[in-house]
Amino acid sequence: MSKSKKHHTHTEHAEPHSEHSDSFDTATEFTETPSDSSPSATSSASTSGATATVTKETTTGRIAPEKPEGVLYLGIDLGTSRTSVSASNGVRETVASFVGYPKDVVARKLLKTDVLFGDDAVKNRLALRFYRPLEHGVLKCSESSENHDENLQAARDLIAEIIRRAKPRKDELIYAVIGAPAQASINNKEAMVKAARESVDSVMICSEPFSVAYGLDMLDDVLVIDIGAGTTDLCRMHGTMPEESDQITITHAGDWIDNRLAELLLEAYPETQFTIQMVKNIKERFASVADQMEPAIVNLPVNGKPTEFDVSKQLRDAAQGIVGPIVEGLASLISSFDPEFQVRLKERVLLAGGGSQIRGLDSAIEREMHNRLGTGKVIRIEEPIYGGANGALKIAHDMPGDFWEKLK
């Protein structure tokens, strides 16, 4: 039976499970937790939110022995620009977060499909009702959002597609952890859960920067910078579940760079023609804030004729524009922390997310930290595309089996 035809019963609140409560010491948030809530697991369907916790021994990467057979665990990084999945069967996939549906019967005949995803959707977007269902890292799901219902359906289809690419067996249960921006609203987290439920048996939402740190076993004295397309999430880790005061979300991220670069190109070369997708491709190919960067020579049309332009200065200026706001956010998290431990935080700054691939960005942030904060050490993670998904998968593994049962 396909996932879309399954009928699950979702409880509004799962009661605390006392036999685990003494061993839990690190929590994974998937909605905001009320101050009087228990640290034990409650359902992700709850309107008030909940936390789940993990024992110390599981943070080493070992999988708890009581895990049931026939379960596929998924870590999903649902991003504005790209959606990635890491699965317990070893599959890792990523797809651009675009969804398209044929506009009419001619487009349907041409494309021979009812829905396209990722780069295929971008390539054929003129023949499609074209959607990018996430903005600033969250679903375009508020009633005031344009094309609310269509974007929600596109989100459901995108999640179903990334799960299909994880190659689950028909006889497997699917338990998924999905990363969300650190300060995503409760309503948006609930919308993500609802969008995923058609394709999974049990699901929870966690903070994206927390999942990055969790995946690397760096849960103490760490500052995480997770640069996506829609948002940059900053989070300080100090050996406990990060609270709201430990996290900052800013919109100086990949999309901001794209829009700023487009402005600078029009100022410098007003005769050029381009789309924001063309600008994004230029950024992904050449983006750098290094002291010495290779010339960014591109062809852009002028009155229909491809013309060569050197956009190095504009690209560098646009990319450099996110450094100040990021360090300003770091300074806020550091200055409001225990002064005895501030230096330790500054010396362990993790740079993650797709935007971390901008050449020289780690050094640029370090320099700005030295200027504003006296010191700083930035560590670029090895797998920026899968850092969040890998951490979410580890969280999924480490949750006890009865926790997942309560979320069904």
Q: Kindly state the tokens that stand for 78.
A: 């649902």
CA 193 to chain centre: 15
Residue scoring higher pLDDT (240 or 371): 371
Q: Does residue 408 belong to any structural domain of this protein?
A: no
CA distance 192 to 185: 11
Q: Does residue 124 belong to any structural domain of this protein?
A: no
Which domain, by its residues, includes 293? 254-320
Helix then strand then coil, % of the chain, to nearest 5: 40, 25, 40
pLDDT > 70: what percent of the chain? 82
What is the per-residue pLDDT for 142?
59
pLDDT at 8 over 80: no
How buried is 238 (Cβ within 10 angstroms: 0-12 exposed, 13-18 middle, 19+ buried)?
middle
Q: Does residue 264 belong to any structural domain of this protein?
A: yes
Q: Does residue 146 belong to any structural domain of this protein?
A: no
Q: What is the pTM of this model?
A: 0.80
CATH code of the domain in which 272 resides: 3.30.420.40
pLDDT in tens, 69-84: 699 999 999 989 999 9
User: Which of 45, 37, 353, 59 lies closest to 208 in space, CA to CA?
Assistant: 353
Q: Does residue 8 belong to any structural domain of this protein?
A: no
Q: How many domains does the chain have?
A: 1
Q: Does residue 289 belong to any structural domain of this protein?
A: yes
Average pLDDT for the chain: 83
Q: Does residue 265 belong to any structural domain of this protein?
A: yes
Q: Does residue 346 belong to any structural domain of this protein?
A: no
